[in-house]
Structure formats: C-alpha cells, structure tokens
Amino acid sequence: MSADVGRSAIPSAESASPGRAVRRQAIAIPVGGGKGGVGKTFLVANLATALARAGYRVVAADADLEGANLHTCVGVPDPGPSLADFVARRSTDIRELLVDTPIPNLRILAATHGSFGAPQPGQAERVRLMRQLRELDADFVLVDLGAGTHPAVVDYFMIGEAGIVVITPEPTSIENAYSFLRAAFYHRLELAMLSHHVREVVALAMDERNERGIRTPLDLLREVRALDPEEGARFVETMRAFRPRLVVNEARTAEDVKLGFSVRSVCRKFFGIEAEYLGYVNHDEAARRSVRSRRPVVESNPGSDAAIYLERVARKLVAGLGRADPPAEGSS
Amino acid sequence: MKPLFEQDHYEVLEVPRDTGPDGIERAYRLILSTYGEDSLATYSMVRGADSAAIRERVETAYRVLSDAESRRSYDSSLGGGRPSPDVEFDETPEIAMEPPKTSSEPFDDLDEAGDYDGARLRRARLRRGLDLDEIARRTKVSSNYLACLEDERFADLPPRVYVRGFVMAFAACLGLDAVSVAESYMRRYDAERPRQRRRFSRGT
C-alpha cells in the first residue's frame, strides 16, 4: 500500500478530501505531554510542515503564552499579531491574527506578547478560542500546548478527540505523561457526567491522593457504576472515545522504541484507555541543527533520519484520522 | 474494560484469541519488559508488590498459552471462542514489533527508496525492536562493528571483505534481502572509504 516513495506517500490533500468546496470543520490536533522540553513544539512545527508539504492547508497554533516559541521553529521571528491580542480583547476574531510562514500552506497563530503581565485566557475564553480554531478554513489545526496539567493547559486537549501526547524515554517524562493523560481524561469525564453526585466523585478522584483510594479511571468506573449505572455507561462511552496518540521523541535504542507499546499497555491495563502508538522520532543531530537554523527539519533536511520518522508519523496520523473522523465529508 | 485480575489470559497478554505461538511469544516478551523490575513505563504507576503480582499473572498466562495442550483446554474452558465484547483489541502488535522472518520480504521498508546507508539499517533495526546486542548475538558479529556499520565509521572496520560479510549477516537478521542490501551498502562504502582513510591518516 505504501509502495510510494518517501514523503510523497502522505495521502495528498486532493486524494484525501475531495469536494473541499463544502464547508467543514478543521481537524484539530492538540499536542501535549505534561513535561516541558519533550519536543511538543518541535513535533507541532514538523507535523504541520509535513502536512502542509503534502498539500493540506494547515494552521499551527501556539497555546503556550508562557513559553511561546512555535513561531521561531517555523521561521517567523516576529509574528506581530498573536493570541495575546485575543486574550486582551484587542481582537475577537482569530482569523485576523493568523500569520503566514515561509512554508506554503502553513499559517500560524503565535502566542508572543509584549507585556509580562499579560493575562491568561479564562475558561470561557479558552472555549471561545477552541471553537474559533475548529472553525478555521483549514484542513488541520495543530495546537501546541504548554507544559503541566493545569486546567488552562489540559482544556486545550479537548479540542479534538485524537490528541497527541509526546514522551521521551525518561522517567520524568513518563510520569508527567500519565498525570497529563489522567488529568485530560478526568476533565473530559467531568463534562460528560450529568449527575451532580457523580461529578463530585470525579472531582474527588482528580486529587491523586484522594481518601477513597481511587487511583485510576478503572477504580473510578467501579465507584461510578455503583452510584449510578446509567452514568457508568456514559463513563465507558467517554472512555472509548478518548483515544490519545503517543509519540516517543528522542528515541535512541530499541528499548526506547518499545516504550510506546509499554505505555500503551499501561494505559490499557490501568486506565482502561486505548491509546494509539503513532510512532517515534529518533534522536538526531539534524533535528537539533534544524531548531538552531529555525526551520523544521522535514523542510530543511528531508533526507535526515529525524525527518523520515516525522514524515512517517504524519502519514500514520492522516491515515488514522481518515478513519476516525466521521463528520468530514470526504471520508475516503 | 476489566481490571487486570479479571482479565483472561489473552487479555493479559493483549493479543486476540487466534494469535499464533510466535505472536504469543512476542507479546509475552513485550509485556514482561513493560512490567519488569526496572521498566521505565511503569515505575511511577505500579509499585513493589503490585508489579510482582502482575508479572506472576503474566507468567501464568504465558505458561498456559504457550503450550498447545494446555492452551486447547483453556480455550474450551473459555467457551464461545469469541472475546468478550468488552475488549476491542483491533490491532495485533504492529509492524514495528515484527521479528525478523526467514524470508527476504522487506516489511514496510517499502516506504524508503535509495541506498541502504547506515541510518537506514538502523531504522530497519529499530522498527523491529532489536538492539545491537541482540543482532550481535544472532549474527556473531560484534556489536561494536555493527555500530560502526550504522554510523558509517568505515575506518574503524576490518578489511572490506569482512565488512561485506557483516552487512549481509546484519541484513539477513533483519529479514532483508542480504545480497541487494550489501550491494547497496558497499557502493557507499567504496565511495566513502578512501575519503575516511585520508582524513584518518591526516589526523594522526
């Protein structure tokens, strides 16, 4: 099936979404991971570029007002308009804030801001932002999340069903990734549950040291089922719909490559969550150099090891979304 | 979604019920490394006694499923032969975990064109989840030399005829077509080797 060569093997925009004239929502892909420095921005910049190079219209949005640097990774030193204008209400329409990049088909919503005292978006603003992002006239909207598991970060993970969690082969990254997944899932659950009483239990479970001994979603499910079987059914539904995708970055050894399968197994066994192992990106000096030259490695050095892996991740992502995105009209 | 200790042996090993012996073996090794003593994936999730209990559970599942006789009787005790609707393991362990086959079928290396350089050999190896030590064990070529092949440190390798043999063994171990991989690799070697030698002699 993938007998084509190299990057051209990402299904082109034309073949994957015929009849683009019909208005539809962009596919939003949040990219998080809990820990800082695992390569979220690197991944967003490169996946967005790979998709843009395949002919998709892509927007990469930086949701990290604290550590905005996506613009730098795609070669836009000074983006001008940014998410900060939206938060400060200088603009209410994010379409006005998109900036072109040197890469055809790729625009960004930067998160640079001039003043350090700039406010963080509140929950209502985040909801408004996410709605506008989904409604952008684009095929894909990738959202680069900040570090941590604060609601202000985790909220963005709900913008699409198939968010990506980036991990590196380090205990700190893995630990934070589990916390992130747990927080993201519970957050989603809280919104899905209707009964006030059940929501209280979910809120309680969000504290990892809760006195009820609820440590994992599976423990919580038992509690919820006992309280209210109907909510239990909704719980399972939410669980099934939540299918995070894993990417291992900075892989050096075969053990590192297998880590994705292991984390998937832990998600399955302890969380009851089906994660998909999207792929891995190896440790490559070319990647480091690309960051320094402020150009995505898939564009500046497409023959490099890292670029080949990134292209593969992009391909798998598109293939998976082709199946997992029923509302898109061009279900090929 | 069932807690681990309510799962049947297939669910524990995360394989569909029609998985062959090779698949069982592979899944067992993967799960074992996932829940092993110093596993990166579980250290913050599972502690001490818990992880021992999981390993115990995995060992039991493997013991039953790896023996044709005991597997048959276990299967009939499960009844129906269909996994419970609660489990939806639609994917078997993926290509990346594919062990080297004896045939020369090149898996999904199809998505790459061009010469077999060191980096491509490494990609092919990693995709199969194999460490250099494992390749060294199977091919009897030292992992040091294998690393030189991947890094294309030609000056650190023995004479050409050995290099060719190493590449053939490496490729065969990955289930690749040894002759064409060697041909492709040696083209690079021949083009690059004189340059590396010059650099080497100038440097010393």
Sign of CA dihedral B130, A298, A312, A39: positive
For residue A329, what pLDDT is reported? 39
**By C-alpha distance, which of A133, A129, A156 is closest to A144?**
A156
User: What does pLDDT average to over chain A?
Assistant: 85
Query: In the predicted model, is pLDDT for residue B192 greater than 90?
Result: no
The average pLDDT across A28-51 equals 93
Contacts of A255 in chain B (CB under 8 A): 33, 40, 131
Report which of A147, A173, A161, A152 is spatially closest to residue A259, judged by C-alpha positions: A173
pLDDT band, very low/low/confident/very high, at B114 (cuts 50, 70, 90): confident
pLDDT given at position A40: 93
Distance set, CA A194 to CA A154, A228, A229, A277, B181 (Å): 21, 11, 12, 32, 60
Mean pLDDT score of chain B, rounded to an integer?
78
pLDDT of residue B171: 93
- Domains of chain B as residue ranges with CATH: 4-86 (1.10.287.110), 101-203 (1.10.260.40)
Banded pLDDT at B113 (limits 50, 70, 90): low
Residues of chain B contacting residue A277, judged by C-beta atoms under 8 Å apart: 94, 96
Both tokens assigned to A279: 């792929």
Residue A269 has a pLDDT of: 83
What pLDDT does residue A94 have?
94
Whether the predicted pLDDT of A16 surpasses 80? no
Alpha carbon A221 to its chain centroid, in Å, reads 25
A40 CA: distance to closest CA in chain B (Å): 19
**DSSP β-ladder status, A106-109 and A99-100:** antiparallel
Which whole number is the average pLDDT over B94-98? 35
List the one residue out of B8, B26, B6, B16 whose CA is nearest residue B90.
B16
Q: How high is the pLDDT of residue B105?
A: 30
What pLDDT is stored for residue B70 in this prediction?
A: 92
Mean pLDDT: which of A4-8, A103-107, B128-132 is highest? A103-107
Quick one: DSSP state of residue A270? Answer: I
In chain A, residues with a C-beta closer than 8 Å to the C-beta of B152 are none
Q: How confident is the model at residue A328 (pLDDT cuts 50, 70, 90)?
A: very low
**What domains can you pick out in chain A, each with its CATH number?**
25-322 (3.40.50.300)
Q: pLDDT (tens digit, 9 = 90+) per residue, B3-49?
A: 677 789 999 999 999 888 988 998 998 898 888 888 888 877 776 67
pLDDT average, residue stretch A294-321 = 90
Cα distance from B128 to chain A (closest Cα, Å)?
Answer: 8
- B→A interface, C-beta within 8 Å: 1, 3-4, 14, 30-31, 33-34, 39-46, 88, 93-94, 96-97, 108, 110-113, 119, 122-123, 125-131, 134
Contact assessment for residue A309 and residue A7, using Cβ atoms and an 8 Å cutoff: no
pLDDT value for A209: 78
Q: Is the pLDDT of residue B84 over 80?
A: no
**Which chain A residue shows the shortest CA-CA distance from B89?**
A274
In DSSP terms, A106 is beta-bridged to A58
Q: Angle CA(A178)–CA(A180)–CA(A182) in degrees, nearest 5?
A: 70
Q: Which residue has the higher pLDDT, B181 or A120?
A: B181
State yes or no: pLDDT of B99 exceeds 60: no
Look at A255 and B131 and tell me if their CB atoms are within 8 Å. yes
Q: Phi and psi for A247 in degrees, rounded to 5?
A: -130, 125
Q: Which residue of A has its CA nearest to B110?
A: A3
Question: Is some CB atom of chain B closer than 8 A to the CB atom of A269?
Answer: yes
User: Which residue on chain A is closest to B33 by alpha carbon?
Assistant: A262
> In terms of pLDDT, which residue wins out, A200 or A16?
A200
Dist. CA A132–CA A129, nearest whole Å: 5
Q: In angstroms, rounded to a whole number, what is the distance separating the alpha carbons of residues B75 and B10?
A: 10
Residue A22's pLDDT band, with cuts at 50, 70 and 90, is low
Q: How far apart are CA B109 and CA B89, in angstroms?
A: 25
Using DSSP bridges, classify how beta strands A164-167 and A27-32 pair: parallel, antiparallel or unpaired: parallel
Q: 3-class SS at A186?
A: helix
Count of A-B CB contacts under 8 Å:
98
d(CA B195, CA B200): 9
Residue B109 has pLDDT above 80, yes or no: no
Report how far Cα A44 is from the mean position of its chain's Cα atoms: 8
**Residue pLDDT, tens place only, B135-164:** 999 999 999 999 999 999 999 999 999 999
pLDDT 10s digits, A194-248: 888 888 888 888 887 777 878 788 888 888 999 999 999 999 988 888 999 999 9
For chain A, the 3-state helix, strand and coil shares in percent, each to the nearest 5, are 50, 10, 40
Give A154-198 pLDDT, tens digit per residue. 889 988 867 999 999 999 999 999 999 988 988 888 888 888 888
Confidence band, pLDDT 50/70/90 cuts, at residue B50: confident
If one compares B138 and B197, the residue with the highest pLDDT of the two is B138
Distance between CA atoms of A205 and A235, rounded to whole angstroms?
A: 14
Q: Is the pLDDT of residue A58 over 80?
A: yes
Report which of A212, A218, A211 is spatially closest to residue A182, judged by C-alpha positions.
Answer: A218
This prediction's pTM: 0.79
Candidate from A13-22, A31-40, A124-133 with smallest mean pLDDT: A13-22
pLDDT(A55) > 90: yes
**Residue B56 and residue B64 in contact, taking contact as beta carbons nearer than 8 Å:** no
pLDDT at residue B98 above 70?
no
Strand runs labelled E in A190-288? 245-251, 276-282
CB-side neighbour CA atoms (13 Å) of A52: 24
CA B101 to chain centre: 11
CA distance B50 to B52: 5
User: In this predicted structure, what is the pLDDT of residue A51?
Assistant: 95
Share of chain A above pLDDT 70, in %: 88
A47 pLDDT tier (thresholds 50, 70, 90)? very high
pLDDT in tens, A244-277: 999 999 998 888 988 999 999 989 888 888 899 9
Please determine, for residue B88, whether its predicted confidence score (pLDDT) is greater than 90: no
